[in-house]
Chains A and B, each alone.
Chain A
Amino acid sequence: MLSKTKIGIILAMFLLLAAVPPLADYFDQPFYLALFSRILIFAIAAISLDLILGYGGMVSFGHAAYIGLGAYAVAILNYYDIDNGWLQLVVAIVGSGIVAALIGAISLRTGGLYFIMITLAFTQMLFFLGISLEEYGGDDGINTSRSVFGDWIDMDDNSVLYYVILFFVAVCTLISWRLVNSRFGMVIRGSHSNERRMLAIGFPVFRYRLAAFVVSGAMCGVAGFLMANLTEFVTPSFMHWTRSGEIMIMVLMGGMGTVFGSILGAAGFLLLEDILANLTLHWWIIFGPVLVLLILFAKKGLWGLIPGREGLSDD
């Protein structure tokens, strides 16, 4: 169970996040509204990845692809004058889920290094597919307008969009949290801990992993849907495999196998990127080694720094 400190931090976190639009408005810093919108979108991606990576031990490079799929769902439907948000959202989720099912069906039959490389290859495949579809902008990308959810939600208002994103973050956090503690979640975690034993006591591990893979992909599709709305512009670069690497870094920074840590990780990564970019053009040369050091020495991530009782049922 979560310690009191951690519960307090989570509530404080959400309150702070809810306060961003009025604060940004008050200090006349629309840049920070956009930045935090971005952070929250990547938080969803990180939460979805943590499900299979942190809890399940599946090192998948696929998540950039699902962001891309979700984003293109918006852009392509928009291209055909379908701007109904509900429809776009459903297509984003279902589309990502189906692709995840196909990729998972092939890659989950392998393991270890094979799995990592195969997911990387498929992501790159989708990237190239995106580039080759000239009709939808190809390499240059495609513009899109924001989704329409009826008169009561005006997605064109940046603050409204921010709260919509925050809402999805809350929903995904809740789903993920219940999921990892449910029977299904136990199977995923057990399979990561000791796959051989899981098989021996009677769990057909493959089908559960596939299901987790699909859920993870579908959730990330939501992140893509929101991203297209935020940037109003979608390019294949959303799907480049290095973006998957960035999401992995966020998961690591926040703490692997912690639902709420993903939000911290996304914030940490993007804020750090923002700070470093202002320092020097060549900030990657600092970030690269920093990342290596992080991995070697700070495995627990930001969430692990917060005091709280040790235990598997930490979330």
Chain B
Amino acid sequence: MTEPILKVENLIKTFGGVTATDNLNFDVMPGEIHAIIGPNGAGKTTFVAQISGMLKPDSGRILFDGRDITNLTAPQRSHAGLARSFQITSVFKEFTALENVAMSIQANVGHSFHFWKRASTDPELIEPAHKILNDVGLGARALVRAGNLAHGEQRQLEIAMALATGPKMLLLDEPTAGMGTEESETMREFMRDLKGQYSMLLIEHDMDTVFSLADRVTVLVYGRAIATGTPEEIRNNDEVRAAYLGEDEVKAGA
């Protein structure tokens, strides 16, 4: 029985009167793509924030790769191998795509108390950055200012930056957000290629992505996981249908 790479135990988070995360238990097995879906307000963003270390839970434990990371800071979790991409693109707008990825690389090659040597021409940073940009499909746009990239390209950059930290697991928050059908398909292809190399926790709204990529799906409603299973199982789960998938959607999917 392999151990999960990510294990969340009894996670609770309340804001004033609202319970955003309601005694959540959850795990991700190594190498799998585990998607979390749920209606708006289900607490997906809060959940991701607690896992990545941006938000402190009221109680509960988070175990990653065998370690208890509940009290680790966000940078520490990144170093432990947990990389995250953001739902609303969060890149360094004034830097070029290359510099963005180089920054991610720099974060993971030791400390940055180097005061003299120029960073933008440092092969230790630039060469891996070029490679990752190529892998992601942005190779030709390396020298473009991130703020000037098209939306879809920025989403690709998002993922590139997460990959550049050399993680064991990716936390992808709506990677196809705001993308058109063609772009989404390209992104899906890319994620399919990543499968196996990285474990993935995928927050998604886009059902095509979920059903074509995910090994397992968990449905989150009001901070609780109401069902976990394969995409097929979830599609046919009555409770899930009632809470989330409208009748029409289910008919179209089936």
Contacts and interface: CB of A to CB of B under 8 A. Distances in A.
A198 B93 CA distance: 13
Contact of A184 (B78, B90, B113): B113
A200 B95 CA distance: 17
Contacts of A179: 115-116
Given A184-B115, A196-B54, A211-B113, A202 B107 contact: yes
Interface residues of A, number: 27
Contact of B78 (A185, A200, A205): A200
Interface string A166-183: 000000000000110111
Interface of B: 52-54, 73-76, 78-79, 83-84, 86, 90-96, 99, 103-104, 106-108, 112-120, 122, 125, 145, 161-162, 164-165
B226 to A, nearest CB: 29
A308 interface: no
Given A196-B54, A202-B107, A203-B75, A178 B165 contact: no
A22 interface: no
A8 to B, nearest CB: 21
A15 B3 CA distance: 69
Q: Do most interface residues of chain B lie in helix, strand or loop, or is the interface mixed?
A: loop
A311 B146 CA distance: 11
18 contacts: A178-B118, A181-B118, A182-B114, A183-B113, A183-B114, A185-B115, A186-B112, A186-B119, A186-B120, A193-B93, A197-B86, A197-B90, A198-B103, A201-B104, A202-B75, A202-B108, A202-B165, A203-B107
Q: Which 9 A-B pairs have the closest CB atoms?
A: A202-B78, A202-B107, A183-B112, A183-B114, A199-B74, A193-B92, A201-B107, A201-B104, A204-B75
A184 B92 contact: no
A199 B75 contact: yes
Given A194-B93, A201-B103, 5 more contacts: A182-B114, A187-B112, A197-B86, A201-B107, A202-B165
A193 B103 CA distance: 12
A313 interface: yes
A208 interface: yes
A304 interface: no
A312 B118 CA distance: 13
B116 A178 contact: yes
Nearest to B95: A312
B165 A201 contact: yes
